[in-house]
């Protein structure tokens, strides 16, 4: 058995799965406010949804007794972070870490979605 991955090993898409306590509310936010599109849903009532926008994909899973984790559950890279920051503020969501230029090359902030999930958002700084 080898400890190093094979040169033939390749990865495809990896998508964050975010637990939500209220699927309709979560979809209202991610589709209505952030502009994602539903590409798949499963269950009656709906317990799993796949959302896409541009190159981004999110999976939402219904967990009726959901308690948000005290750490970031997803990272997003965007263009025009100031617009997204304004959308988050307009929806009255909690900003955990304010919008700032970071020394690691991103303009970034962290917010909590309607279920309290922490999402870290960044945009590469223009050089």
> Which CATH number does the domain housing residue 99 bear?
3.10.180.10
Residue 8 located in a structural domain = no
Q: Assess if residue 27 is contained within a domain.
A: yes
- Reported as a pLDDT band with limits 50, 70 and 90, residue 51 is very high
* Pick from 10-14, 18-22, 34-38: least confident: 10-14
> Distance between CA atoms of 99 and 106, rounded to whole angstroms?
10
User: Is 10 part of any domain?
Assistant: no
Task: Judge whether 59 lies within some domain.
Answer: yes
**Number of neighbouring beta carbons within 10 Å of residue 61:** 16
Helix, strand or coil, per DSSP, at residue 108: strand
CA dihedral sign of residues 95, 64, 28, 54: positive
As for how many domains the chain has, the answer is 1
53 within some domain: yes
Lowest mean pLDDT among 13-17, 54-58, 108-112: 13-17
In a domain, 85, yes or no: yes
Determine what percent of the chain is predicted with pLDDT higher than 70. Answer: 98
Domain membership of residue 7 (yes or no) is no
Structural domain boundaries, residue 31: 16-124
1 has pLDDT over 60: no
Q: Is residue 3 part of a domain?
A: no
């Amino acid at each position: 058995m080898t400890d190093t991955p094979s040169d033939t090993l390749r990865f495809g898409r990896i998508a964050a799965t975010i637990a939500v306590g209220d699927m309709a509310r979560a979809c209202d936010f991610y589709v209505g406010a952030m502009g994602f599109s539903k590409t798949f849903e499963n269950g009656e009532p709906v317990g799993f949804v796949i959302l896409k926008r541009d190159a981004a994909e999110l999976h939402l899973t219904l967990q009726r007794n959901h308690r948000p984790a005290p750490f970031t559950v997803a990272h997003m890279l965007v263009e025009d972070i100031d617009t997204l920051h304004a959308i988050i503020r307009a929806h009255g969501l909690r900003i955990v870490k304010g919008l700032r230029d970071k020394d690691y090359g991103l303009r970034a902030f962290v917010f909590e979605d309607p279920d309290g999930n922490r999402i870290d958002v960044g945009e590469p700084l223009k050089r």
